[in-house]
Structure 1
Amino acid sequence: MDLVKYVQEKYIETKDFPVFKSGDSITVYYEIREGAKTRTQFFKGTVIQIRGTGRTKTFTIRKMSGDVGVERVFPMNMPALQNITLDRKGKVRRARIYYFRELRGKKARVKDVAYTKK
């Protein structure tokens, strides 16, 4: 087990992103390679869960694209991850808000928490 931790600390670089939790609305900017070209794409949605610790930490974001819910899991130290911006802080009582998947319309809103944007 110590060997795995050693390799993770040695070879996986950490990036500085804002601190966020479940219920927060964030925008994730990541790089996409199409052949020889690279471009930046963003995914904007609500954080459903944060899983893992240290360098293997992942987070799941959910957004509505029309009537279809789209979820995406991002590793925190993915090399293609460029930036994360915190759009709104949300107030939820749970760390993993799976019940959010079944909610539609006005019920699918998360209460805002007043905060200062840095």
Structure 2
Amino acid sequence: MHHLVQQFEQEQMVGKVVPDFHIGDTVVVKVKVKEGERERLQSYEGVVIAKRNRGMNSAFTVRKISHNEGVERVFQTYSPQISDIEIKRRGDVNRAKLYYLRDLKGRKARIQEKIVAKKDIKKKAVKVKEETVAAE
């Protein structure tokens, strides 16, 4: 039974392109918002403070400061509501979860930028390949 669920999850993830972002990175998540009959894209920019890797149930938390108030939002990584994830800048942190940012304000809540080699600046993306799903 577990094998069937795993295979179904792999089939659902095929073709979904997710950039290779890490904790501390500043990202822009474009979310599809439906208002009545029309649908539009809403951008949410902030720092990734947590990631949860669980296959199809993977999620990440983005924190931003809006009108001097901290706002956090949890996104499902493979959700059809997410149109695009763009990496604005890389952060250099030594923790897996940045929950300590909740208590910091102003300049103390800043994250040092990671210096990346020129060859690594290109946007890397993790794409689930159809071959791995077909092999199972």
TM-score greater than 0.5 by the shorter chain: yes
Identity among equivalent positions (%) equals 37
Q: Which residue of 1 aligns with 2:43?
A: 42
1:33 aligns with 2:27: no
1:107 aligns with 2:108: yes
CA distance in 1, matches of 2:56, 2:78: 6
Instruction: Give unmatched runs, 5+ long, in structure 1.
Output: none
Q: Which residue of 1 aligns with 2:77?
A: 76
CA distance in 1, matches of 2:33, 2:94: 35
Cα contact 1:13–1:77 (8 A) shared by 2:
no
The Cα of 1:14 is off from its aligned counterpart by 4.7
The Cα of 1:2 is off from its aligned counterpart by 2.1
CA distance in 2, matches of 1:67, 1:36: 33
The Cα of 1:15 is off from its aligned counterpart by 1.5
User: Which of these two proteins has the greater Rg computed from alpha carbons?
Assistant: 2
Instruction: Give unmatched runs, 5+ long, in structure 2.
Output: 123-136
Q: Which residue of 2 aligns with 1:4?
A: 5
1:59 aligns with 2:60: yes
Secondary structure of the 1:113 match is: coil
The Cα of 1:58 is off from its aligned counterpart by 0.4
CA distance in 2, matches of 1:111, 1:12: 33
Structure (1 or 2) with the greater strand fraction: 1
RCO higher in structure (CA 8 A, sep ≥6): 2
The Cα of 1:3 is off from its aligned counterpart by 2.8
CA distance in 2, matches of 1:16, 1:33: 22
The TM-score, its normalising length taken from structure 2, stands at 0.80
The Cα of 1:94 is off from its aligned counterpart by 0.5
Q: For the structure 1 residues 102 and 27, does the alpha-carbon distance in structure 2 shift closer, same or farther, using more than 3 Å as the test?
A: same
The alignment's C-alpha RMSD in Å is: 1.4
Amino acid corresponding to residue 18 of structure 1 in structure 2: P
Q: Which residue of 2 aligns with 1:88?
A: 89
Secondary structure of the 2:18 match is: coil
Structure (1 or 2) with the greater helix fraction: 2
The Cα of 1:39 is off from its aligned counterpart by 0.3
Secondary structure of the 1:17 match is: strand
Aligned length in residues: 118
